[in-house]
Amino acid sequence: MTAAPTQAAVAWRAMRPQQWIKNSFVLAPLMFAGPQLIEQGALTSGLVGQVLLAALAFCLASSATYLLNDLHDIAADRAHPVKCQRPIASGALPHRQAWAVFGALLATALGIGLAVRWTLAATLVGYLVINVAYSKGLKRIAYVDAVVISAGFLLRTVAGGEAARVHLSYWLIGSTMLLALFLALGKRKHELLTSDSGHRAALEQYRMEHLNFALGVLAALAAGSYALYTRDPGTIARFGTDKLLWTLPFVLFGLWRFYQLLDDHTTAQSPTDRMLRDPIFVANGLLTVTAMGVVIYGLGG
């Protein structure tokens, strides 16, 4: 009587739903294009529903890639102080069941993508292809692994634009890529700090001084790109206000807080998990979204 619920719970844990917050990038284009869509009379419940479906499709697709990666990394994960507790590495989720869940997630994600728009399905395929390449070997190449991860975030943003039928600003694309690279290299820095035996092959190719330099440059470029976006004449015309710059301090604080969390080498827990459990980071994130919403939808005109 309890076997099925137990296996379902184990499969759910293997899907890492706590990581689905990353798919909020899918919602960004709709948020920033909202005023323009309202003016055109195009912001309908149907359109919002399609964007939410796109986010759901990426949640399922990302879970499928986590399962695939765990299936390929069983040996390395079993030697890791934290990853050894993952369902596949620990043996709680048998290989056959893991592959079955992977197939179901993959089929459902692509089905949703096709139902919304074929270009969304194509974006999902691109996301899956780069993640397969990542699992097969790209993750073993320093800096290339981080670029692949950041490309995944960029494809999430592209998918959101496709679902919302909006043109993505080059500033938004650039800011997304720079922020994603910052997050990816930040994770590598934390792994380098907490790893005592090189559980990830690419870690042996990283150097702390290079990572610190790259993180500083990326943080500055990401913040600068966002600042330029807020002052771009097209942005001001679209929102009817030049006050989006007021949200920059929240962005800067978020970058600083994430960087601060990276230096805590007392735990091998992922910095992504850390920041989602950090009340200061979460509070700042909520304030950032609120401030952007107020400026974009409350002060325009």
pLDDT value at residue 43: 84
Average pLDDT rounded to a whole number, residues 231-244: 88
Query: Per-residue pLDDT tens for 104-113?
Result: 999 999 999 9
261 contacts 278 by C-beta, under 8 angstroms: yes
Q: Is the pLDDT of residue 254 over 50?
A: yes
Q: Within a 13 Å sphere around the CA of 66, how many CA atoms are in the beta-carbon half?
A: 22
Residue 158 lies in a domain: yes
Alpha helices in 117-247, H assignment, sequence order: 118-136, 144-164, 170-194, 208-231, 233-239
Residue 6 lies in a domain: no
Name the nearest CA neighbour of 99 among 143, 64, 50. Answer: 64
Name the pTM for this structure: 0.87
Query: Per-residue pLDDT tens for 143-167?
Result: 999 999 999 999 999 999 999 999 8
Answer yes or no: do 112 and 201 share one domain.
no
Q: Is the pLDDT of residue 2 over 50?
A: no
Residue 269: band (very low, low, confident or very high) from pLDDT cuts 50, 70, 90? low
Answer yes or no: do 244 and 158 share one domain.
no
The DSSP H or E segment spanning 21 is: none
Q: How many domains does the chain have?
A: 2
Residue 202 lies in a domain: yes
Answer yes or no: do 45 and 150 share one domain.
yes
Answer yes or no: do 213 and 284 share one domain.
yes
Answer yes or no: do 118 and 40 share one domain.
yes
Residue 69 lies in a domain: yes
Average pLDDT rounded to a whole number, residues 173-189: 91
Q: Is the pLDDT of residue 290 over 90?
A: yes
Q: Is the pLDDT of residue 76 over 70?
A: yes
Q: Which domain holds residue 147?
A: 19-165
Residue 116 lies in a domain: yes
